[in-house]
Structures are given as structure tokens and as C-alpha cells.
């Protein structure tokens, strides 16, 4: 930093293009030093004949000469780390069990520095892999790996048609890998880079389903004994296929496929309040109970179910409406006081901006790789702060450990965090594929403190178990064979 005096002005050069302009405290021209009234950059430049240097004005005239001397000797600010470029982008598909997981790896010009991001779309895993491997390398190689927002927008808008789950998952993998890289360069866990902790760990819920209300209550009690304070309950799997209904007529008629599931919607709607009643009697009022309708009921029936379970004080009811029935939100909100979690199937801002700003639900439930990753999720979380909406990101078993860790890092930061969809932990087998998995203890998820997201992938092992085309197909039918929208 260099100090020069010009007329009655003291100029502190901060850098080649910035300077501070103040009255000269030692000047006798003015009895009392005052900041010069410089109306604009051009006026200052004309006055001093300093060409095109940038100007930053401030009032240091009253500082002591000793301090002014220190300012003159200050070291110019650091320009930060050298830039790095993206050198490769690739998708890694792996099937450790019965679910296809997809992770994107971004490599950089700094030797050994890379990032990982979750891009799992189990039902269309091969389509995501193809999109990443065929389109993202040409789009990304040579670009600055530090400019995450710009890279996100390039990937999002360059296809012109946008907001589909396949491309959004690809963008998510790319975006989250860049966040991983940035945190690794900063030598800190991702949550530190995002703002630091708002809590010591991430509270999780687990599942307590069963074949009968009594069996469900037993499983809830086991989860409580393991330290969980939040448990999701339901009759069998979503909608109770094989539990609440006998063989449907469409199968006898040879309609559809043998793997198509049957749901008896009315039987399900009548069974859920009974499940809540039995669990509350067995397990008490302290445990927080969650139920997922999974968009499988008609809107009026979903309203009736929510009304029926109000007396049992659920923590929230998840996804009562399908994306095709969002026009029901106002009536739904006016019809029940049950907290609502929504958004698992949302793809883009137009699906959640209006209902969030009108407080139509209480928890935002997006599948983060579906909306484009950490960059978008942080924006949604901040939006929710202003409308008293908490986060409850979708985190099923078809989110990779890389994805779960990314969720947990964000959830450590969000002041409006609600709950993490836990899974009871990560198996030893899964941890072989993904070293560094988060851990769950007493119902809390902990990330490891390694720089970045903290989870790696064993590419050699993953190559032996590649992703398949055998993802879930979500085909559920009524008794006569009519498709039910999930």
C-alpha cells in the first residue's frame, strides 16, 4: 500500500485499481479535517490527474498520524488461490444391492483434486449416466471449477428445454462435485463453507412399518429404544400393497403386468387412523409420528385422512397431493391443521415458489438431486426461512451416501432445519463402496470432519457392480387396472 499527497488530499493506494481518498491530516489549508465532497469518480480523477484508477472514499482524516502510518505500510490483500480448470466429468453408476446409485466425478487441473456429487435417479439411472457422459464433458472441460453458480446456469440453460429429472440429476452431480472441490481447496468440511453449524448433529427419522397396527407399534418402540425420536409409520409399504387388499380383478383378467402393484385406496384411508391410534396407545405421546400418503389418494380422501389423524398430533403428513393437484392447496390448508410436508416430486422453482410464499405447507421435501443440487437447495432453504417453512429433504435409500452427506452438511447449517430422512445407518457393504459414510447414533446423523463432503467412492469395486436398467417402475393400479399417480 502506498500513500501520496495531492493538494489537500491524502491518497492510499490499495491495489492497482483501487484507492482511498482523504483529507491530508497534516495540511494547514483546513483548520479542521473533513472528508472531501467528491461528487463522482471523474471529478476525483480530474482533480488529481490519476487516469483511470478506481476510487473508494472513506473518512480516515481523524485517525492519528501513527495509525495513518500503519495503514500506509499494510500488505496488499491476498488474491487467493490460483484458478483451477475442469479437466473431466464422468458418471459412475453402481448397484451395491437392489438400487442403482449414480455419482458424478469432476476432475481438475490441480493434481489429485476432484469432487463427487450425487446424481441418483434410480428409475432412470442409465439415462442420467448417458446424459452426464455424453454432454457434460464437452460443456464443462476448460471452465473455471470455482464458479459454481455460473457453471450451474450454463448446464441448466444450455439445453434450452429444461426442468426434467434426468438433466436436473446430472446438473446436481456436477454442482455438488464442485462444492466438494471448493471445500477441499479451503481445507474445511462443506458445512463450514456454507456458514457453519446451527446444531451439533442432524436429527433423523426412521421407518416403523409392519403388517398390522400392532406390528407397527412394536417396530416404533424398537426405533425409540435405538434412540430415534421421530418414526414414520404406515400400513405395509406405501398404500399397503399386499396388506390391505386381496388379488385384484385386473390380474385375473390378465390386464397389465405381473409386477404391477395393487392398492385398495378406501381400505388404506380407513386403516391409517387406526394405525396412529394403536401406536399412540403403545408408544405414548413423546415420539413424533410421520406418515407418507405418497400422493396415492384423491385430494378429498387425503383431506379426510388428515382430519382423522389430527387428534394423534402427527409431526407431519407427507405428500398428500400429487403435482397434478396443486390447485387443491388452498382448500387443503383451510381444511386441516395437520402439518404438511411437500415437494418430493418438484423439479423447478415454479412448483414451489407460490405455495411456499403462501405458506401452503410446513416442510419442504424436495429430492435435492431432482432440483439441481446444493446450489438450488440452499436457495430454497433460505426462502423457507421467511415463511416459517422447515427443511425435510427427501433422503430414501435411493440417495447415495454422497447425497446423504451433502444433505447433512446443509442441514447442519440451515436455521430452519426440520428433520432428515434417515435410514437407520449405512451397511458395512455400502460403506465398502462409499468410504466415509455419515454415521447415525441415538437418532442423530454425524458427518465426518474431512474436507469437502467427506465421502469417497471405491471406483474399482464399483466397476464390478455397474448400474442396471432394473430400477423401480412405480406402477400402481386400482382394482379395475386404472393407474394411480404416485
Enumerate the active-site residues: 238, 294
- Which one-letter DSSP state was computed for residue 32? S
Identify the H or E element spanning 72: helix 65-72
- 408 CB-near residues (< 8 Å, 6+ apart): 202, 420, 438, 445, 446, 447
Strands 202-207 and 444-446: antiparallel
Is the Cβ–Cβ distance between 176 and 118 less than 8 Å?
yes
Residue 299 to residue 428: CA distance in whole angstroms: 41
Question: 151 with 85: CB under 8 angstroms?
Answer: no
Cα 364 to Cα 342: distance, rounded to the nearest angstrom: 5
Burial class (CB in 10 A: 0-12, 13-18, 19+), 349: middle
The closest of 136, 126, 134 to 87, measured between CA atoms, is: 136
Query: Read out DSSP for 355-382?
Result: HHHTT--SEE---HHHHTSHHHHHHHHH
Assess contact for 356 and 364: CB atoms under 8 A. yes
Amino acid at each position: 500500500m502506498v500513500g501520496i499527497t495531492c493538494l489537500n488530499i491524502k491518497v492510499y493506494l490499495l491495489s492497482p485499481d483501487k484507492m482511498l481518498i482523504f483529507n491530508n491530516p497534516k495540511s494547514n489549508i483546513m483548520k479542521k479535517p473533513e472528508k472531501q465532497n467528491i461528487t463522482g469518480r471523474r471529478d476525483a480523477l480530474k482533480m488529481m490527474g490519476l487516469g483511470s484508477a478506481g476510487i473508494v472514499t472513506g473518512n480516515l482524516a481523524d485517525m492519528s498520524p501513527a495509525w495513518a502510518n500503519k495503514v500506509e505500510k499494510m500488505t496488499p490483500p491476498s488474491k487467493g488461490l490460483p484458478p483451477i480448470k475442469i479437466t473431466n466429468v464422468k458418471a459412475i453408476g453402481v448397484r451395491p444391492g437392489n438400487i442403482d446409485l449414480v455419482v458424478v466425478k469432476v476432475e481438475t487441473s490441480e493434481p489429485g483434486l476432484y469432487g463427487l456429487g450425487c446424481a441418483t435417479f434410480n428409475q432412470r439411472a442409465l439415462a442420467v449416466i448417458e446424459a452426464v457422459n455424453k454432454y457434460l464433458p464437452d460443456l464443462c472441460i476448460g471452465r473455471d471449477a470455482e464458479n459454481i453458480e455460473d457453471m450451474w446456469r450454463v448446464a441448466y440453460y444450455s439445453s434450452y428445454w429444461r426442468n426434467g429429472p434426468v438433466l436436473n440429476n446430472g446438473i446436481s452431480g456436477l454442482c455438488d462435485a464442485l462444492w466438494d472441490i471448493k471445500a477441499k481447496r479451503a481445507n474445511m468440511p462443506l458445512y463450514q463453507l456454507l456458514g457453519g453449524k446451527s446444531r451439533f448433529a442432524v436429527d433423523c427419522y426412521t421407518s416403523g412399518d409392519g403388517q398390522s397396527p400392532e406390528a407397527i407399534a412394536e417396530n416404533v418402540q424398537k426405533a425409540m429404544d435405538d434412540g430415534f425420536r421421530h418414526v414414520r409409520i404406515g400400513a405395509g409399504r406405501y398404500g399397503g400393497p399386499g396388506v390391505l387388499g386381496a388379488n385384484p380383478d385386473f390380474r385375473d383378467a390378465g390386464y397389465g403386468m405381473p409386477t404391477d402393484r395393487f392398492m385398495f385406496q378406501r381400505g388404506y384411508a380407513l386403516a391409517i387412523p387406526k394405525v396412529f391410534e394403536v401406536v399412540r396407545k403403545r408408544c405414548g405421546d413423546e415420539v413424533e409420528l410421520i406418515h407418507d400418503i405418497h400422493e396415492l389418494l384423491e385430494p378429498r380422501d387425503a383431506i379426510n385422512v388428515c382430519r382423522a389423524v389430527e387428534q394423534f398430533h402427527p409431526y407431519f403428513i407427507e405428500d398428500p397431493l400429487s403435482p397434478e393437484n396443486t390447485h387443491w392447496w388452498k382448500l387443503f390448508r383451510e381444511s386441516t391443521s395437520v402439518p404438511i410436508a411437500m415437494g418430493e416430486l418438484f423439479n423447478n422453482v415454479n412448483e414451489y415458489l407460490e405455495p411456499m410464499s403462501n405458506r401452503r405447507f410446513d416442510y419442504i421435501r424436495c429430492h435435492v438431486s431432482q432440483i439441481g443440487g446444493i446450489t438450488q437447495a440452499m436457495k430454497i432453504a433460505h426462502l423457507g426461512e421467511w415463511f416459517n417453512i422447515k427443511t425435510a429433504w427427501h433422503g430414501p435409500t435411493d440417495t447415495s451416501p454422497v447425497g446423504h452427506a451433502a444433505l447433512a452438511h446443509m442441514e447442519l447449517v440451515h436455521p430452519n432445519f426440520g428433520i432428515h430422512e434417515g435410514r437407520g445407518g449405512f451397511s458395512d457393504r455400502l460403506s465398502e463402496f462409499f468410504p466415509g459414510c455419515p454415521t447415525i447414533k441415538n437418532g442423530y446423523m454425524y458427518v465426518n470432519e474431512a474436507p469437502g463432503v467427506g465421502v469417497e467412492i471405491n471406483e474399482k469395486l464399483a466397476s464390478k457392480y455397474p448400474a442396471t436398467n432394473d430400477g423401480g417402475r412405480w406402477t400402481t393400479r386400482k382394482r379395475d387396472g386404472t393407474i394411480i399417480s404416485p
